[in-house]
Structure 1
Amino acid sequence: MKPLRFLFSTLCLLAGAALAADKPNFIIINIDDMGYADIAPFGSKLNRTPNLDRMAQEGRKLTCFYGAPVCSPSRSALMTGCYPKRVLPIPSVLFPGAAVGLNPAEHTVAELLKKSGYATGCIGKWHLGDQPEFLPPRRGFDYYLGLPYSNDMGPGEDGSKSSLGDPIPKPKATPNPSAPIPETGITGNQPPLPMLENEKVIARVRQDEQQGLVDRYTKAAVKFITEHKDKPFFLYLPHNAVHFPIYPGKEWAGKSPNGYYSDWVEQVDWSVGQVLNTLRELKLQDHTFVLFTSDNGGTPRAVNAPLRGFKTTTWEGGMREPTIAWWPGKIPGGTSSDEITGMFDILPTLVNLAGGEVPTDHKIDGGNIWPVLAGEAGAKSPHEVFYYFNGLRLEGVRTGPWKLRFGSAGLAEGKGPVKKPAAPIPDQLYNLQTDIGETTNVADAHPDVVAHLRELADAMKDDLGRDGKGPGVRPLGRVENPQPIISRDGTIRAPFAPK
């Protein structure tokens, strides 16, 4: 019997090894606030990005990949495969000490891949809630290193409100301790910014730490890849760069001829090169899918051309991201696709590639875009309609090349924070195929298209709602008595204190 048991055990091990070998590795590199044309593959004439140039030459550009107008919503879409409003119904973003975050009942891409045998790591900015219940170690990640939110969400005296070389602002008056804190967190006179490893504070982030973010994340990413090279892994690498305040690394500051912002973009390119070179050195390049993107449009310091608008808006420049998909031998090199894709497609695509099952107990909005990524003949976007949400408000809808932006008459009974102007603004129709910059309103020439898009928008009333929360919006995660990770006096909250 013993030889039979040994043979059975050996066969099981071999079968498990073969199954693991069939599962590709996944790396998602998510930059913060990068402009559409901040990198050379998408038209930059200022920033030198040789590693992203090579990535595009070896991979496929997605020229119509959507995030959200701001950080937290975009990241919720990536994690859950849903429109942000469905799973994170907040007006804007989350701040330190927030009582709410991504609901633990939501399935994350990390949790689903973990069920399929993946090692999972998150290295960088999280921004989906900073209470223990909401952080990466509780959301399917085996390892976490990074900041729980944006690098500007700390006190001015630590350098969080001023870029490298700028004067440190004077401290603000201490707020009234009895004043109510919004459920989305502390917006003024913020507490110190923590660097976490798993659920422990390992540093208070001041100027030196800001300058070391890209280098620190990159080294940790290379280490994670190396340690998990023999089994399938999922690495989520969301950089804090290039969000304000601007802090290129000490070896990068002043390196480009175009200022600190360009320095930081070029350091991000270096980081991408380190990740891809590590895959090549470990002979993992033919077995690893890498996606490079940004969470939302760039700010005015970025270059979004030829798109109109910037971060916080639902113009194309606020939501369309510079995105490159790379997997040598699987994704055709030197190609591009203008099919509608987005953050909410990441979960269903990765789970399908991993041989897992996309849950059916919760509605998701994304689709499997692998046929588009692989360049299959006739492959189309899974989205006949795409909705442009800004917080809780639906501001536009798209089908095919046609995008309708709602004027003041379309702002859903005037609810919410946006006030109608005294002079009504008409709905605006753009053909994004011929007018990517949204320069010419052609609504009067195409009343039938406008009517059809208005019908599509009205259909959303019975799901997510055009304004406020519709029946398809799911509840936020919520905790009682939320506290910042580090208090204003520098005390580290007990659950996060290192032993």
Structure 2
Amino acid sequence: MTRCFDPTICLRMLLLLLIANLCMGDARGEESPPNIILILTDDQGYQDLGCYGSKTIRTPILDQMAAEGVRLTSFYAQPVCGVSRAALMTGSYPIRVAEPENIKRLHTVPHPEEITLAEVLKDAGYATGMIGKWHLGLDRKDAPGGVLPSTMPNAQGFDYFYGTPRFNGYTVNVDDTAMRSPVMRNQEVVVEAVEDWNDITANYTDEAIRWIKEKRERPFFLYLAHNMPHIPLGASERFRGKSAGGFYGDTIEEIDWSCGEILKTLKELDIDDNTLVVFTSDNGPWVETTRGMKPKAAALIPRDHSGNADPLRGWKMSAWDGGCRVPFIARWPSKIPAGWESDELLSTMDLLPTFANLARTSVPDVTLDGKDATAFLTRQTDESPRDDYLYYSGCMLTGVRAGKWKLVLPRENAPAGLGWWGRMIEAVPETMLFDLDEDPGETTNVAPQHPEIVASLMKRIERAREELGDRFHTGSDVRLFDEGPRTLQAPIKKRKAR
């Protein structure tokens, strides 16, 4: 080895060596945390992708994305839009999340003091952008877009926001109601009232690509939350009327195209290898052909306007798996092995700690329900860090899953305290147990044959009731940032004594 006796030359050589090592580290992707793109659809069913079994909806891009990454078959969100988004953004069961005035709303509104996924990544140096449907804000008529600014994306960790502050509607056609959604850019209303939704997916795609190109030089987090396929539906001329899956299928096929445009952009910018792209849905399909699916009720949603959760039982708002078990695909060419799938449990709550780990930062200093799934998703281990999933309908605990077993608790029809989505919760007369490996449609109660499994799962239920709570009491470890007790937006009225 050549010795260096001149201190100045030695210092220069050391600096050059250090710079070379840093450059080599950057080339290997070791010094730069990954870009993260999270694509969320609205009311998309478990089966509504080709790689999940759809025979009528063509999704070649997402099918290829699954072939190049991982596909999970037991991935859980929550059964309703706002509740699901709260779990995603906070890494917690919504019943644990603090809300303004301690009111547990039917669509969860995280308290401004809650720390979101976007805030975690922003503090780690990420550029943060949110395009699409927010639906986590507190309604305020005199505020821009009708939502309190302190509960909007720009106040919750996103540098940039373009999209709708709430949902796009609750009727089949826009003209069926006086309600009109605005579109906002940050805190400015750029479209006062959307009259049709045909261009929304294409608009979001253009916005997403432009934003990615702007932020390509630094790690970024893009949350692309499509309004589709929530009613009223919309699809551009290129896709409308083209799918064998009807109007609903048109919207999914356009979302598939959108994913392709984003993946193509990543390759063109040469950042594909160091970008994690995740695709999932906020809840199951909104299948309600008649109000509350009652035989003699008024017609509500035509069947070609909603999706399919087969082989699962139920749909959006229901307490069965079809309400909250959703597609999940993740692709990261340099880290996730291609073409593997798993039936291990995972949930939207697990994304916050997972993304925090990838960003090399810490999680909020509060109790989280999410688990870091980095090792699982990159297949360093075949076991998920999540060992159970609690089924909550609002603040009502309806069951638990651990492994292949799902325990369903007895309940009344249209339970009190659930407001408008209680109409989709039917009665269960007794404790039921299902083997989801053999019976994903939850058709055969095997509780009598497995009393030891029932007893074990009931212990998990008891712990959840103590820590998280239920309709009738507040848990010991929930977050309440304002004065006063926890209350329900849809109060439970005391029944008169007979």
TM-score normalised by structure 1 residue count: 0.81
**Pairing 1:384–2:394 present:** no
Counterparts of 1:24-39 in structure 2 under 5 Å?
A: 24-39=34-49
Which residue of 132, 157, 167 maps to 1:150? 167
* Paired residue type of 1:131: L
> How many Å separate the matches in 1 of 2:357 and 2:272?
20
Shift of 1:92: 2.3
Describe the superposition over 1:224-253 as per-residue Cα deviations: whole angstroms up to 9, x where unpaired: 111111110000000000001111123221
Cα pair 1:195 1:205 within 8 Å, conserved: yes
Deviations 1:385-426 (A, max 9, x none): 3211110010001112111010138999x876669x999701
Could you list the per-position Cα deviations for residues 368-394 of structure 1 after superposition, in whole angstroms to 9, with x for gaps in the alignment?
1112211224x3222223211110010
Residue 436 to residue 170, structure 1, CA distance change in 2 (3 Å): closer
Task: Specify whether residues 259 and 12 from structure 1 end up closer, same or farther in structure 2 by C-alpha distance, changes over 3 A only.
Answer: same
Aligned position for 2:104: 90
2:119 equivalent among 95, 101, 111? 111
Change (3 A) 1:42 1:11: same
Partner of 1:194 in structure 2?
182
Q: Does 1:203 align with 2:210?
A: no
What is the percentage of aligned positions where both structures have the same residue? 42
> Does 2:186 match 1:139?
no
Aligned to 2:448: 444
The equivalent position to 2:239 in structure 1, one of 252, 266, 270, is 252
Q: Deviations over 1:309-368 (max 9, x none)?
A: 000012111000111010013111111011110010010000001110112x31101011
For 2:417 and 2:110, locate their aligned partners in 1 and report how far apart those are by CA, in whole Å. 24
> What letter matches 2:237 in structure 1?
K
Distance in 2 (CA, whole Å) between partners of 1:270 and 1:162 is 24
Residue 90 of structure 2 is aligned to residue 68 of structure 1: no
C-alpha distance in structure 2 between counterparts of 1:44 and 1:254, whole Å: 17
Q: Which residue of 1 aligns with 2:206?
A: 219
| Secondary structure, counterpart of 1:27 in structure 2 | strand
Cα gap change, 1:329 to 1:134, in 2 (>3 Å): same
SS of match in other structure, 1:272: helix
1:120 and 2:128 correspond:
yes
Distance in 1 between the 2:232 and 2:399 partners? Answer: 31
Tell me which of 245, 253, 258 is aligned to 1:271: 258
From the superposition, tell whether residues 13 and 466 of structure 1 become closer, same or farther in structure 2 (CA, over 3 Å). farther
C-alpha spacing 1:78/1:170, structure 2 compared with 1 (3 Å): closer
In the alignment, structure 1 residue 43 sits paired with structure 2 residue 47: no
Partners of 1:373 and 1:314 lie apart in 2 by 27
Q: Which amino acid aligns with 2:185?
A: E
Asked if the contact 1:458/1:466 (under 8 Å) is kept, the reply is: no
In the alignment, what sits opposite 1:230?
217
Match of 1:342 in 2: 347
Is the 2:182–2:194 contact (alpha carbons within 8 Å) kept by the matching residues of 1? Answer: no
Q: What is the distance in 1 between the residues matched to 2:199 and 2:441?
A: 36
Match of 2:463 in 1: 459
- Kept in 2, the 8 Å contact 1:403–1:432? The answer is yes
SS of alignment partner, residue 133 of structure 2: coil
Q: Is the 8 A contact 1:37 1:304 kept in 2?
A: yes
Cα offsets for 1:285-305 (capped at 9, x unmatched): 110001000000112221111
> 2:406 corresponds to which residue?
403
Q: 1:362 and 2:378 equivalent?
A: no
Distance 1:431 1:336 in 2: 20
Q: Report Cα offsets for 1:430-485 as digits up to 9, x if no partner.
A: 0112211211110111111112211211112221113243232223789xxxxxxx
Higher relative contact order, chain-length normalized (CA < 8 Å, sep 6+): 1
Residue 88 of structure 2 aligns with an amino acid whose one-letter code is L
Q: Deviations over 1:111-134 (max 9, x none)?
A: 111111110100000011031000
Describe the superposition over 1:148-187 as per-residue Cα deviations: whole angstroms up to 9, x where unpaired: 111106xxxxxxx3338xxx3375xxxxxxxxxxxxxxxx
Shift of 1:204: 2.0
After TM superposition, the structure 1 stretch with the greater mean CA deviation from structure 2, 230-239 or 19-28, is: 19-28
C-alpha distance 415-454 of structure 1, shift in aligned 2 (>3 A)? farther
Q: Is this contact kept in 2: 1:339–1:372, CA < 8 A?
A: no
Task: Tell me the secondary structure at the aligned position of residue 249 of structure 1.
Answer: coil
Does structure 1 conserve the Cα–Cα contact (< 8 Å) formed by 2:345 and 2:388?
A: no
Shift of 1:91: 4.8
Which AA in structure 1 matches 2:191?
A
Aligned residue-pair number: 436
CA pair 477-139 structure 1, distance change in 2 beyond 3 A? farther
Partner of 2:293: none
Deviations 1:241-298 (A, max 9, x none): 0001111123221122332111111001001111111111111111000100000011
SS of 2:73's equivalent? Answer: strand
Q: Is the 8 A contact 1:21 1:232 kept in 2?
A: no
Matched AA of 1:389:
Y
1:262 paired to 2:249: yes
Counterparts of 1:414-425 in structure 2 under 5 Å? 425=429
| Other-structure match for 1:320 | 325
Report the Cα distance in structure 2 between the residues aligned to 1:422 and 1:79, rounded to whole angstroms.
29
* Counterpart-to-counterpart distance in 2, 1:424 and 1:92: 22
User: In the alignment, does 2:335 pair up with 1:330?
Assistant: yes
Question: For 1:277 and 1:46, how far apart are their aligned partners in 2?
Answer: 25
Where 1:22 maps in the other structure, the secondary structure is: coil
- 2:96 is paired with a residue whose SS is helix
Contact 2:336 2:377 (C-alpha < 8 Å) held by counterparts: yes
Counterpart secondary structure, 2:273: helix
CA contact (8 A) 1:299 1:310 kept: yes
| Shift, 1:21, TM fit | 4.5
Partners of 1:337 and 1:447 in 2: how far apart?
28
* Partner secondary structure for residue 460 of structure 2: helix
